[in-house]
Amino acid sequence: MNEFSEKHAQELLRIFSQFKRSAGQHPYSKLGIKPSEFMLLHLLLERCDDTSVGMRVTEISEKLQITPSGVTHTINSLENGGFIERLSDPKDRRIVLVRATDKSKEITKHLYAERVQFIEGLVTYLGEQDSKEFIRLFSKALEYFKESRKK
């Protein structure tokens, strides 16, 4: 690594470490749920429409790439908070399905609107040209991060 890239790598590392703190608290922390719980809830809301019965624990485990026991632990916590419910599969009562409750649908809709408003503030602050450049560079950085994980 040459002096130029090392200097810039250190500056980016400093910025990344401050970015999380400066962007404000995660919207789900207001609800008293953990990031892993929010990810599971988001998956359910994304994958299960109003006509869907729900998702199986094994499906959730595969999509989130965590163990079924980890999924069960997270489901227990979300169920205690009234964010999800367990149901029997109508085709096979031995299978348990999980789906988001109306409570979680309303709350996440509200939180999403708050986050959009927050990001709109950033776009206004940066202006059109810098916003487009930020999106371009951030997307490129994400591509790099994804490729780095494959190695």
In a domain, 5, yes or no: no
In a domain, 36, yes or no: yes
Structural domains in the chain (count):
1
Q: Give the full edge-to-edge strand order of the sheet including 96-100.
A: 55-56, 96-100, 84-88
Rounded CA-CA distance 56/42 in Å is 15
What CATH number is given to the structural domain containing 49?
Answer: 1.10.10.10
- What's residue 93's pLDDT? 87
Query: What would the pLDDT profile of 20-72 be if each residue is shown by its tens digit?
Result: 666 666 666 777 778 888 889 889 988 887 667 889 999 999 999 899 999 99
Query: What would the pLDDT profile of 93-137 be if each residue is shown by its tens digit?
Result: 888 899 999 998 888 888 888 888 988 999 999 999 999 999 999
Domain that holds residue 59: 32-100
In a domain, 41, yes or no: yes
- Kindly report the CA angle at 92 between 72 and 88, in degrees rounded to 5? 45
pLDDT at 15 > cutoff 90: no
